Structure 1
Amino acid sequence: MQIPVIDFSAFLDSSSSNDAKLKVAKSLDQACREVGFFYLSGHGIESSLFADMLSNAKQFFTTATPEEKDEIRAKPSGEGSGDDSRGYRVVERADAGYEVGPPYTKGLGRNQWPKTPASFRQTAEEYTTHLVALGVAIMKAFALALDVSEEIFASRVDESFWQLRLAAYPGVTDGVDQSKSGLYQHSDFGILTFLLTDEHKGSLKVLAPNGEDWISADPIPSTQHKVLHASQDMRISIPFFFDPNWDARIEPVLGNAEKKSKGEGVNYKDIFTGAIKYPY
């Protein structure tokens, strides 16, 4: 199995023909059905922004003092930010998300941004703005590939409940069981995950369609998965979860009229709050 590389530039170009956009949309559709992962090029985001995100994340994890990290630690609901899914965790992870509220309930809260480095918040917010716009464009491409109105998807992601996560995987020292040095096998439950990683190769693995083989998803310029980090150096990974609006109703868009008329579907906020597990 090979992870496809999809050039998205034609879909973003207003001068592109309908056929050119449909070709891109169909490529995305095929990648999602057959692989579950794809590399995206031609996305219009400057590489310098990616470099700044990775650099800032590494600087925070390696130079911020314990006091600075504790200041933005994820707190149990009711303490400060109102939500214990945002902030720093001792597993070397920092989370932020789309801000809804107050009032704050489970899953909702105020972001807590690191002060080290000083440019952290500005860079992260710029990065988020670009990825939200890209996520909306990809959803429109999905609609085109499925031959349904793009408004069906666009209306459910125009206030995407995104989550930005910065994770550091410490270097593996001699004598450590390398099979337990990353992140367990899992799949993400939202719509899209945009993953930015540093130059380490062999760490991210994608489960092949046969359900047995693991394929390396190494970073290049431009489904089920796990992280098996065996390097002695710290690895930085920045997943951005592009999800529906907090109050979006998710329903089938394809299928017979009788099935759709039964009102099958779920509320996104119920899926999110039911899936998050806090380490307290």
Structure 2
Amino acid sequence: MAAHGPVPLIDLSGFDTDPTRRGEIVDGVRTACEEIGFFLVAGHGVDEQLIDSLYSDAKAFFDLPLEEKMAVRRPHAGVSRGYFTVGQQSIAAAMGTGTTTDLLEALTFGPMGPFAEPTGSADDHIHFAPNRWPQTPATLQRRVEEYYAAMRGLAATIMRVFALALDLDEQHFADKTDRSPSNLRFNHYPEQERDPEPGQLRAAEHTDYGTLTILKVEDAPGGLEVRDRAGVWHAVGSVPGAFVVNIGDAMARWTNGRWVSTVHRVVNPSRDETIGSRRLSVPFFHSANHDTVIEAIPTCVAAGATPEFAPIAAGEYWRMKNDASMAPAGRAS
């Protein structure tokens, strides 16, 4: 398995057909989750033409006049659906460290099709809120639906790998993620026409909240960096045909801190790279069912020890973090 800096590249092909490859994949993922919390995946089977078409449509949306984008604006700060403008989020605030807003605009979609069935919970209006579909480009909804389904499938495979890496039954997480209110988001980082404020980044340092994130990035100035356990920042870069995968806080809590939810950020382009520095990334934030209680897996807790984290419902944890990240921007009207 090749390495990209400290972040390993893992080929998933053969996981379901070759016992030797399966063992290698599980071992590689286990090591990555324990050491850095990030890895890249190739051999994932997601159609490259779908990815290219999705990128084309997303960029066309962000090229629209602001008033057209605002037609699908986020209904209020507690719901992660629709569009929000540059300066409406400070993601580091969820860690209690945010002092400036992030230099990105975004468009977010939640569960759709057969994955969007309400559960009867009092929180359905947040986790299963209706998606807000732009009218332009006309093909965006179809491509988002196809890509969302592909990401759910890939996430389910990775969760099976996670279970085996933790010496659990391969389907251990299946009934804990089968109603997952996962979000697909387009993060658009425009060219920076003026200097950022001191300390202001495209996306300030943060961890993700759920089980795992599957991220598609493009090769453009000013990109993703991850912080290792020694506190050193490393650029991840773009690997053709690969996704970046990182575990979120839910997996760190499930594993009692054995696996690390790594702090990461998106840095600014250098001042001599600002022309042509537009960047689009597409994260799929996979989560547990919002009513699943995240508590330490018994095999991850030493005999007689107290778990590092208190149990908490996945949805409650997400709402707490999301609300904190949106607070500096105020409430959308």
With the length of structure 2 as denominator, give the TM-score of the two structures: 0.74
Residues 202 and 217 in structure 1, CA contact (< 8 A), matched pair in contact too: no
Residues 157 and 245 in structure 1, CA contact (< 8 A), matched pair in contact too: yes
Any gaps of 5 or more consecutive residues in structure 1? 78-82
1:226 aligns to 2:265 (yes or no):
yes
Shift in CA distance, 228/163, structure 1 to aligned 2, threshold 3 Å: same
2-structure distance, mates of 1:23, 1:112: 42
Shift of 1:153: 1.0
1-structure distance, mates of 2:305, 2:235: 39
Shift of 1:147: 1.3
1:273 aligns to 2:322 (yes or no):
no
Residue 43 (structure 2) aligns with: 42
Residue 149 (structure 1) aligns with: 169
Any gaps of 5 or more consecutive residues in structure 2? 87-104, 242-261
Residues 178 and 229 in structure 1, CA contact (< 8 A), matched pair in contact too: no
SS in 2 for 1:271: helix
2-structure distance, mates of 1:97, 1:259: 38
Shift of 1:107: 4.0
Identity of aligned residues (%): 31
Letter in 2 for 1:73: R
Residue 94 (structure 1) aligns with: 107
2-structure distance, mates of 1:114, 1:178: 34
For 1:1-280, what aligned pairs fall within 5 Å after superposition?
A: 1-11=5-15, 13=16, 15-17=17-19, 19-62=20-63, 64-76=64-76, 84-91=79-86, 92-98=105-111, 99=116, 101=118, 104-173=124-193, 175-176=195-196, 180-211=200-231, 213-222=232-241, 223-230=262-269, 231-233=274-276, 234-253=278-297, 254=299, 255=301, 265-277=311-323, 278=326, 279=329, 280=331
Residues 172 and 178 in structure 1, CA contact (< 8 A), matched pair in contact too: no
SS in 1 for 2:171: helix
Shift of 1:200: 0.8
Structure ranking higher on relative contact order (CA contacts 8 Å, 6+ apart)? 2
1-structure distance, mates of 2:47, 2:198: 34
Shift of 1:177: 5.3
Root-mean-square deviation (Å): 2.4
What do the CA deviations read for 1:99-143 (whole angstroms, capped 9, x no partner)? 353874344410102222111111111111111111111111111
Shift in CA distance, 94/175, structure 1 to aligned 2, threshold 3 Å: closer
What do the CA deviations read for 1:25-74 (whole angstroms, capped 9, x no partner)? 11111111111111100001121122112111111001x23332122111
Shift of 1:178: 8.2
2-structure distance, mates of 1:205, 1:259: 34
Paired residues, number: 269
SS in 2 for 1:9: coil
2-structure distance, mates of 1:178, 1:139: 39
Residues 128 and 181 in structure 2, CA contact (< 8 A), matched pair in contact too: no
Residues 8 and 40 in structure 1, CA contact (< 8 A), matched pair in contact too: yes
SS in 2 for 1:273: helix
Task: Between 167-176 and 53-62, report the one with greater CA deviation.
Answer: 167-176
1-structure distance, mates of 2:55, 2:164: 33
2-structure distance, mates of 1:256, 1:33: 17
2-structure distance, mates of 1:214, 1:144: 30
SS in 1 for 2:173: helix
SS in 1 for 2:316: helix
1-structure distance, mates of 2:182, 2:51: 18
Letter in 2 for 1:248: T
Letter in 1 for 2:265: K
